[in-house]
Homo-oligomer: A and B are copies of this chain.
Amino acid sequence: MLEERKKKILQAIVDEYINTAEPVSSGVIEKKYRLGCSSATIRNEMVELEKTGYLEKPHTSSGRVPSAKGYRFYVDELIKEDDISLQEIKYIQSKLETKVNEIEELTKIATSTLSEVTHYTSVSIGPKANFQNIEEVKFVLLGTRMLMAVILTDTGIVKETIIKFDEDITEEQVNTLNIIFNNKLKGKPLAEIDKPIEEYIFSEMNYSLNVIKPIMEQLDRVINEDSKLYLEGANKSFELPEFKSLEVAKNFINLIDTQEVMRDLLNTGFAKDINVYIGDENDNDQLKDFSIITFKHRYQNKDLGTIGIIGPKRMDYSKVISVMKYISKKLNGK
């Protein structure tokens, strides 16, 4: 759909702009990228690329800047594969080798490593709890009126919650709870901890609602609660030239501070391994100046959360995508 030379020129412009953050002129392309034609020819092509929407001009007599469409084409067609150095590979390897006992911890390490290698702000979120299946539920008595419920899911993720009561709980009651929950729920999706089990305990056992209610409330909460958003390297973004604009900086802070938009983005659309959102492609005005790239943290095809990068539209897509692919592969094989 785009002639070879136009592709080359577009690629040169995007590469150059990603490096310098300055509008790119025909002269620079001619001298630096040696495409075998003069600046005038490049200018002519640039006019076409602008007409078809791949490039933009900040003002009449300035160089060109990639549009969202330009970035999109770049990401889909022109990206450099394996834009990752041996050093970076080694660094990532060493980081991911850290022994951890909790998956959340591993996600954090991957997230911070991603930020360190790419120099962008990274963000991650745990998997939606209610898609997971229950492996085991255990209740532990703490003191006399406090219970901890521990849920182990088939993804290896452990959720726990504390439940407080107005009356004393006996060890015996706890034992029965453990038996009931495990018999009834093993292998079922988390979402099934719900009314049926509540009614069962109430009718079949001799438990008062004072005991059942708090338990069900807390289990419900822990299953449905949003998993924690983890952010790393927010300060890195502030070193970038686009953050000289107070407007942009403020939008960024609002974005990462309110978290809702982040959550939405991290929880949607995983058609591909790596998902790239450029600017306000998914028309949210808050995102117009930013791009977001995400991937699923998977282990043996089980969903363990989402990890992403948020940065300016002028992002080093090749580098970020390459690093993500590598980390993703490593995590899955771990």
Q: A-side interface residues toward B, CB under 8 Å? A: 101-102, 135-136, 138, 140-143, 146, 148, 150, 152, 158, 160-164, 218, 233-235, 238-239, 243-244, 246, 249-250, 253-254, 256-258
What are 15 A-B contacts with C-beta separation under 8 Å? A101-B162, A102-B162, A136-B143, A138-B148, A140-B140, A140-B150, A143-B152, A148-B150, A158-B162, A234-B257, A235-B257, A238-B250, A238-B253, A238-B254, A253-B253
Residue from B140, B164, B258 within 8 A of A138 (CB atoms):
B140
Kindly state the separation between the CA atoms of A164 and B257 in the bound complex, as whole angstroms: 35
For residue A135, which residue of chain B has the nearest CB? B143
Nearest CB of B to A109, in Å: 14
**A142-B158, A148-B150, A160-B160 known; 7 other A-B pairs, CB under 8 Å?**
A138-B141, A138-B148, A143-B152, A148-B158, A235-B253, A235-B257, A238-B253
Question: Within the complex, what minimum Cβ distance (angstroms) separates A157 from chain B?
Answer: 10
Task: Give the chain B neighbours of A101 by CB distance below 8 A.
Answer: 161-164, 218
- Chain B residues, Cβ within 8 Å of A160: 148, 160
Closest to A257 in B: B235
CB distance from A153 to the nearest CB of B (A): 10
Report yes or no: A238 in contact with B233, Cβ–Cβ below 8 A: no
Contact call A142/B148, Cβ cutoff below 8 A: no
Q: A101-B164, A148-B150 are in contact. Are A238 and B234 (CB under 8 A)?
A: no
Q: Which residues of B contact A140 (CB under 8 A)?
A: 138, 140, 150
Instruction: Please give me the residue from chain B that is nearest to A258 by CB atom.
Output: B235
Q: How far, in whole Å, are A146 and B143 apart by their CA atoms in the complex?
A: 23
- Is the Cβ of A249 less than 8 Å from the Cβ of B238? yes
Closest 3 interchain pairs by CB? A235-B257, A101-B162, A142-B152
Q: Which residue of chain B lies nearest to A162 when distances are taken between CB atoms in the complex?
A: B101
| Min CB gap A151→B, angstroms | 9
Q: How far is the CB of A283 from chain B (nearest CB, A)?
A: 22
Report B-chain residues with C-beta under 8 Å of the C-beta of A239. 250
Return chain B residues, CB-CB under 8 Å to A243: 246
Bound: A243/B254 CA distance, A:
14
